[in-house]
Structure 1
Amino acid sequence: MLAVRGPVPSAKWCSDLREQGAKIGFGGVAINVRDNLVSGSKMTLTTLDPPIVAVVSVWTEQSYGQSVAELIDLLDSSFGLISAYLVTESVPLPVPRVDPGERTPGLANIAFLRRPVDLDEATWRRRWHLDHTPVAIETQATFGYVQNTVVRSLTPDAPTVDAIVEEFFPIEAVHDVHAFFGAADDEELTDRMTRMLASTGAFGADQNIDTVPTSHYLYRDPFVR
């Protein structure tokens, strides 16, 4: 997963990146971009300067191969500062498929997580994967949920990131926190937010995180041949 960092992009920048997605020659290719449909999301959090404004995901048999190096160079020279990560993917809630290159409906919120230094990796992973996953699905209006555990960074000086989470919400969630949590009223919203914050706090995902609102485009499905 290649995080692109820079100022909030223009419509042309977003269009150019999407056009590039159709040309990337990997078995699986997806692009998430912070475009004008989602950029005003109420759930945006940023620790990095410049912030993450897009993520290019590719599925490949060789993370250290020439093709990945060339893609990093291309994006770095054309679109902004690149921080690339090798990840393993888990999909508790599959994302509905659309035609190649079409926009996936809704808001694709991407969270970059860091493991707290006082939490050992096994405990952190158990609390995230086993304890938190059902809570996240039950307390939010997600219709797609993807967990990526970072194995290592692939670019020098990439900011420390331990996990990259992709969550898909109805488009109304961009401006409506009730729609984000799937809450019918304030009482249900408070209950869901309280449960969610307690769960994220147990593995440190309530602090030192970046959340990036994006539109999602799948150009090549890695599991369809």
Structure 2
Amino acid sequence: MLSGGFRDACAAAGAQRLQVNISDAAVAGAMRISEFDPPIDAVVSIWADDPTDVLDLLDVRVGAMAAWQVDERTPLHPALPADGSRIDALANVAFLRRPVDLPRADWLRIWLDDHTRVAIETQATFGYVQNIVERALTRDAPVVDAIVEELFAMDAVSDVHAFYGSGGDQQELERRMTRMLESVARFGAHQNLDVVPTSRYDFEVGPR
């Protein structure tokens, strides 16, 4: 998926931009939470007017695939190279599922309006993308309600203080962790989720 030939084929199929996140050795020490079986080992994001042909290209290259159309929001938008080089970061990709007893409108309000500030203030992120799932694009795709990506410095792979930005202060770390846990519990993101630590690569592959 990182080869020039694949990127050229995606451009010919209508892709304007690709983002490839791979769970690899560089982030192997980071926390992973898996509900999917088998667990996710790569996430490919496609920007295209019609992604059908690009999805067909992916389908023949992977063992199993699920795809969703999303509405993208970027509370923290870092300036990143799109030349295919590895972004110097731990890129955590989380797949969220809405609790059945929480109406969608309330779930979105708590997550987008209330939790966003908490997430930014309690973690040392320099990039934060929220993707609201609108519909499945592949047959039998599992139910997922949102896909979130957060970018951390590489130190966060093995240093919880670097992850939360607590500067080595244990009391501050505990305060941030408690505030974060209380916030995610309000919309069910403390359970029934997948968190995939990845390395991220960005490509501009076609005209926008």
TM-score computed with the length of structure 1 as normaliser:
0.85
Kept in 2, the 8 Å contact 1:72–1:82? The answer is no
Q: Which runs of 5+ in 1 are unaligned?
A: 1-16, 63-67
Larger RCO, structure (CA 8 Å, separation 6 or more): 2
Q: Which residue of 1 aligns with 2:145?
A: 162
Kept in 1, the 8 Å contact 2:7–2:205? The answer is no
List per-residue Cα deviations over 1:132-185 (Å, max 9, x = no partner): 000000000000000000001111111110000000000011111111111122
Kept in 2, the 8 Å contact 1:22–1:101? The answer is no
Please give the alpha-carbon distance, in whole angstroms, between the structure 1 residues aligned to 2:25 and 2:42.
13
The 5 Å alignment of 1:172-187 reads 172-184=155-167, 185-187=169-171
Q: Which residue of 2 aligns with 1:200?
A: 184
Q: Which residue of 2 aligns with 1:148?
A: 131
Shift of residue 70, structure 1, vs aligned partner: 3.2
Say yes or no: does 1:32 pair with 2:28. no
One-letter code of the match for 2:7? A
Q: Which runs of 5+ in 2 are unaligned?
A: none
TM-score computed with the length of structure 2 as normaliser:
0.92
Kept in 2, the 8 Å contact 1:31–1:55? The answer is yes
Closer/same/farther in 2, CA of residues 220 and 128 from structure 1, 3 Å limit: same
Please give the alpha-carbon distance, in whole angstroms, between the structure 1 residues aligned to 2:64 and 2:53.
14
Shift of residue 74, structure 1, vs aligned partner: 2.8
Say yes or no: does 1:96 pair with 2:75. no
> For the aligned residues, what is the CA RMSD?
1.6
Q: Which residue of 2 aligns with 1:4?
A: none
Shift of residue 104, structure 1, vs aligned partner: 1.3
One-letter code of the match for 1:190? E
Shift of residue 73, structure 1, vs aligned partner: 3.0
* Secondary structure of the corresponding residue to residue 26 of structure 2: coil
The 5 Å alignment of 1:1-225 reads 17-19=1-3, 22-23=7-8, 24-25=10-11, 26-41=15-30, 43-62=31-50, 68-184=51-167, 185-220=169-204
Shift of residue 99, structure 1, vs aligned partner: 4.2
Please give the alpha-carbon distance, in whole angstroms, between the structure 2 residues aligned to 1:175 and 1:221.
34
Corresponding pairs, count: 202
* Secondary structure of the corresponding residue to residue 193 of structure 1: helix
Please give the alpha-carbon distance, in whole angstroms, between the structure 1 residues aligned to 2:54 and 2:41.
17
* Secondary structure of the corresponding residue to residue 190 of structure 1: helix
Q: Which range moves more in the overlay, 108-117 or 96-105? A: 96-105
Shift of residue 95, structure 1, vs aligned partner: 2.4
Kept in 1, the 8 Å contact 2:26–2:199? The answer is yes
